[in-house]
Amino acid sequence: MTQSTSKAVSADAPHVDLSPLREMTGTDAALETELFEAFYEGAIACIAGLEGATAPEDAQTWRKHAHALKGISRNLGAMPLGELAFEAQEKCEAGADEKVRMLAGIKAEYALVEAYLRGVHP
């Protein structure tokens, strides 16, 4: 049995910190909604890319999508999702089972982030 070295995302941890974003947007609701929509679109594309790159020979494709997801997550303030994407990026050479496990964590955290953001601007 192998031990996972991934950093668990606490259920109590905030999934998104919008304070840096709001400093830039001045709490402009329309601009925030536009940025959220761009985040959803980008994150969904990255997750789809990860889903198609779990085979060992797809390491660089996996890394590319994980890197992109890390960036858009951190830019929005979704640090736990960014951390999971960073882990996936660093483990691009992992086997398919490990990638599927990481992807499940990413999808679960994305769902929490999306639910939170849709609550901010439905």
CATH classification at residue 92: 1.20.120.160
Domain around 63: 28-120
| Axis-axis angle for helices 79-90, 29-51 (nearest 10) | 30
Asked if 88 and 102 count as a contact pair (C-beta separation under 8 A), the reply is: yes
Per-residue tokens: 32: 């925030």
Q: Given this model, what pLDDT does residue 12 score? A: 52
Residue 87 falls within a domain, yes or no? Answer: yes
pTM higher than 0.85, yes or no? Answer: yes
Q: How many domains is the chain partitioned into structurally?
A: 1
Letter string b/e over residues 84-113, b meaning 16 or more CB atoms within 10 A of that residue's CB: bbbbbbebbebeeebbeebbebbeebbebb
**In a structure prediction context, what are the per-residue pLDDT tens digits for the chain, which is 122 residues long?**
333 334 444 445 589 999 999 999 997 999 999 999 999 999 999 999 999 999 999 999 999 999 999 999 999 999 999 999 999 999 999 999 999 999 999 999 999 999 999 998 87
Q: Given this model, what pLDDT does residue 122 score? A: 77
| CA neighbor of 56 nearest in space, from 98, 95, 100 | 95
